[in-house]
Chains A and B, each alone.
Chain A
Amino acid sequence: MSDYIMEVKDLKTHFHTKKGIVKAVDGVSFKVKKGEILAIVGESGCGKSVTSQSIMRLVGDKKSEEVTGEVLYHGEDLMKKSRLDMQKVRGKDLSMIFQDPMTSLNPAYTVGTQIAEMPMIHEKKGKKSAWNRAVEMLTKVGIPSPAKRAEQYPHQFSGGMRQRGVIAMSLACDPDLIIADEPTTALDVTIQAQVLDIIRDLRDETGTAIIMVTHDLGVVAELCDRVAVMYAGKIVEQGTIEDIFDRPKHPYTQGLLNSVPRPGSRERLKPIEGQPPNLHDLPNGCRFAERCPFVMDQCIEKEPDLLEAESKGHTVACWLEEEGNNDGDRGNTEGRGTEKVF
């Protein structure tokens, strides 16, 4: 057996709309190791959420949704599973945490009931032991007086506590892999810090692997082990956090890092000019070419493949990296991402 829990191979999710085909995810591949936190990072519309939903098979059942590729979970392709089999996997082996804790809990049931439902369905536990599990999970995520809180309804919880409740639910059956889609985006920073601590502790304790979908590079730097940077439906760069933050190779990754104001710095921000491309009408060549400061002729003609850069496991989809194009301009780009601001 390989030490990878999940291998996603050439995942494509295309939506057929009146205006044409939207290639929301267009050939994404990555692997997740046991106990690792992988970040999928990108801006609105880059396909990061659709990727996570496709893995969980939350899209793909409608006629207008076309999902292809392989999602190997312990070597077994989730794409080939029947809907019923998939239901058995979801919530048990793979679970998901959504952005909005307000809408991911059912307002009509107590929080305890909703958590206890998981072991009752997946592990055929009795009511009582499932309830005890629910209370235990609430304790784990740091909710004060968990036995009392389990009997309360979601509206009696604050935003941060609801998100902890959702995390408790996702943990109830000891999953191998949790997909967290922007789990802290709706929270204030002091509450976000608490939730990030909980997620980190859980990984350290249980060895659960986590796919963290986020737009926030700060969250990635603090929490994750490896990063996949997405742009317009594709992964443009992938590597360890050291690769991405210290040695970013792709001009988009460098641009993202340069766009964020850092506490204590007064240096002028270097934004990425222009807008992301329209997913209805993607260019033939590199999807970032239009906004790229180092664009060359071949970038417009042909799409670059995701290839390994200097260090092992660090992959980049950029013509600058291929065919020895990386002298001239590269000198400048090297420095840009690694600037120390403190």
Chain B
Amino acid sequence: MATEEILKVEGLKKYFEVSNGFLRKKSIVKAVDDVSLTVKRGETLGIVGESGCGKSTTGRLLMRLLDATEGTVHFEGENIMEWSRSELKKRRRDFQMIFQDPFASLNPRMKVEEIIEEPLLTIGMEKKERKERVSQLLQDVGIPESYKGRFPHEFSGGQRQRIGIARALALKPKLIIADEPVAALDVSIQAQIINLLMDLQKEYGFTYLFIAHDLSVVQYISDRVGVMYLGQMMELAESDELYEHPLHPYTQALLSAIPVPDIHAKKEKITLTGEVPSPDNPPSGCRFHTRCPIATERCKQEVPEFREIKNGHYVACHEV
């Protein structure tokens, strides 16, 4: 079955049990609480949210780097939650990850060519073919081939992120999950990496799940964007639609809070009061009601349904 949807996530939950110190009561942190989404082949789906909203946990669940508490994840129609370890190992070549920290995600004792070659070894590729593939990948990500014998510490942050991207691309995956891939980089380098990711997608037709806290970056790179808050999806829509017609009060506040590098962009500011509540004791009803400027009695009690308002525009809010 040729599915339009490469990834279908339904009711995904991840609860962590946390002990609050010696002899104290354990509590449950609901890091991801009932998230459903689909990713279409060839698109970029962005997930954005502030610290602790569960965006990175969602990415790790989809990679099965963490096991979900509940919910299903279908990748090309198959439930990846049911795969055994050995099957997972075989199938992981189809979905790969790019990590945030280019300093921590590369083995300092391996040469660049070894790092990029490693995934190719797992599928038993011939030596000659491997060497050719490594050269091709280095060229794709813009690292001169003469650098292949160098170690990670000899590269700058941006170059290391390129190496991490080459490694993720090595097995020609169908889906790439990028967790804050540019957060650690300076703006001039960040733009280089964003352009690289977009060029590679154009050339090879990858599907991206792009996770980040920076709404301007997510919006720029993504076709559709999902906004998370305290473990739940608040709003999901096409990127331009979300920017032009944000419906959820949280999305509106988030958009108005981004400092824009344009002194003539006088916009209406919605400054949220208060802080993000702790995910181990999230508010009842709508999780945003404690900071929401338009919250009503109903919001305190009932969890709003994540429903489609317009074509492809989903929002979880009673007041919309």
Interface residues of A (CB under 8 A from B): 43-44, 158, 160-161, 188-194, 196-197, 215-223, 241-242, 245-246, 255-266, 268-273, 275, 341-342
A242 surroundings in chain B (CB, below 8 A): 263
What residue of chain A has the Cβ atom nearest to residue B190's Cβ?
A: A259
Offer 19 A-B interface pairs, CB within 8 angstroms, sorted by A: A43-B186, A188-B276, A189-B254, A190-B257, A193-B259, A216-B259, A218-B260, A222-B260, A223-B259, A246-B263, A260-B191, A260-B261, A263-B255, A263-B260, A264-B219, A264-B243, A271-B191, A275-B189, A342-B265
Contact of B186 among A44, A197, A218, A221 (CB under 8 A): A44
A259 and B217 contact, Cβ closer than 8 Å, known pairs A188-B50, A193-B257? no
A190 with B262: in contact, given A43-B188, A272-B188 (CB under 8 Å)? no
Stretch at the interface among B34-42, B267-275, B305-313: B267-275
Given contacts A189-B213, A264-B240, A342-B265, contact A259 B188 (CB under 8 A): yes
Q: Given the known A-B contacts A191-B275, A215-B186, are A221 and B259 also in contact in the complex, defined by CB atoms under 8 Å? A: yes
Would A219 and B259 count as touching, CB distance under 8 A?
Answer: yes
Q: Which residue of A lies closest to B259 (CB)?
A: A218
A189–B257 Cα distance when bound, in Å, is 6
Q: Which residues of A contact B192 (CB under 8 A)?
A: 271, 273
Which residue of chain A lies nearest to B221 when distances are taken between CB atoms in the complex?
A: A261
CA distance A222 to B189 in the complex (A): 23
Min Cβ gap A237→B in Å is 15
**B186 / chain A contacts, CB cutoff of 8 Å:** 43-44, 215
**B271-285 contacts to A (CB < 8 Å):** 271-273, 275-276
How far is it, in angstroms, between the C-alpha of A1 and the C-alpha of B194 when the chains are bound?
50
Please state if B259 and A190 are interface contacts (CB–CB under 8 Å).
no
With beta carbons under 8 angstroms apart, the residue of B189, B194, B271 that contacts A197 is B271
Bound CA–CA A341/B262 (angstroms): 9
Partner of A262, one of B244, B260, B269: B260
- The answer to whether B271 and A257 have CB atoms under 8 Å apart is no
Contact: B263 with A221, CB < 8 Å? yes
Nearest residue, chain B, Cβ from A245 = B263
A255-B271 CB under 8 A given contacts A220-B261, A262-B260, A265-B220: no
Chain A residues contacting B258 (CB-CB under 8 Å) are 189, 218, 263
A245 in complex: contacting residue of B50, B262, B271, CB < 8 Å: B262
Instruction: Give Cα A260 to B217, complex, Å.
Output: 8
| Known A189-B50, A261-B216; contact A43-B187, beta-carbon cutoff 8 A | yes
A161 touching B275 in the complex, CB below 8 Å, given contacts A241-B263, A261-B220, A263-B260: yes
State how many residues of chain B have any CB contact under 8 Å with chain A: 42
Residue of A nearest to B187 (CB): A259
Given the complex of chains A and B, what is the CA–CA distance between A221 and B260 in angstroms?
Answer: 7
- Give the residue name and chain of the A residue nearest to B269 (CB): A193
**From B244, which residue of chain A is reached at the shortest CB distance?**
A264
Question: Which of B188, B194, B213, B254 lies in contact with A261, CB distance below 8 A?
Answer: B194
* Chain B 182-199 residues near chain A, CB threshold 8 A: 186-192, 194-195
> CB distance B259 to A222 under 8 Å?
yes
Q: 10 tightest CB-CB pairs across the interface, nearest first?
A: A218-B259, A271-B191, A261-B220, A217-B261, A259-B191, A43-B186, A188-B50, A193-B257, A272-B188, A269-B191
Known contacts A188-B276, A191-B275, A269-B194; is-contact A260 B265 (Cβ 8 Å) = no
What's the minimum C-beta distance from B251 to chain A, rounded to whole angstroms? Answer: 11
For A216, list chain B residues within 8 Å (CB): 259
A261 vs B214: C-alpha distance in the bound complex, in angstroms?
10
Across the interface, do A262 and B272 meet the contact criterion of CB distance under 8 Å? no
Shortest C-beta distance, A146 to chain B (Å), equals 15
> Are A188 and B213 in contact, CB atoms less than 8 angstroms apart?
yes
Among A189, A260, A265, A271, the most chain B Cβ lie within 10 Å of the Cβ of A189
Neighbour of A260 across the interface among B158, B195, B216, CB < 8 A: B216
A160 — which chain B residues lie within 8 A by C-beta?
275
Give Cα A251–Cα B146 distance, bound, in whole angstroms: 30
Counting CB contacts under 8 A, is B134 at the interface? no
Against A, the Cβ 8 Å flags (1 = close, 0 = not) of B67-104 are 00000000000000000000000000000000000000
Q: Who on chain B is nearest to A193 by CB?
A: B257
* Complex contact A256–B253 (CB within 8 A): no
Q: Contact between B50 and A190 (Cβ–Cβ < 8 Å)?
A: yes
* A161 surroundings in chain B (CB, below 8 A): 275
Enumerate chain B residues within 8 angstroms of A222, measured Cβ to Cβ: 259-260
Q: Quick one: which of B217, B271, B275 contacts A193, CB cutoff 8 A?
A: B271
Give the distance in Å from the alpha carbon of A255 to the alpha carbon of B272 in the complex: 33
Smallest CB–CB gap between A141 and chain B, Å?
A: 14
Nearest chain B CB to A273 CB, angstrom units: 7
Cα A218 to Cα B257 with chains together (Å) = 10
- Interface contact B188-A189, CB-CB below 8 Å: no
In the complex the two chains form, what is the Cα distance from A245 to B158 in whole Å?
26
B100 → A minimal CB distance (Å)? 15
Q: Which residues of B contact A196 (CB under 8 A)?
A: 259
Which of B244, B253, B259, B265: most chain A Cβ within 10 A? B259
Measured between alpha carbons, how far is A8 from B30 in the docked complex, in Å?
52
In the complex, are the beta carbons of B261 and A262 less than 8 A apart?
A: yes
**B215 within 8 A of partner (CB):** yes
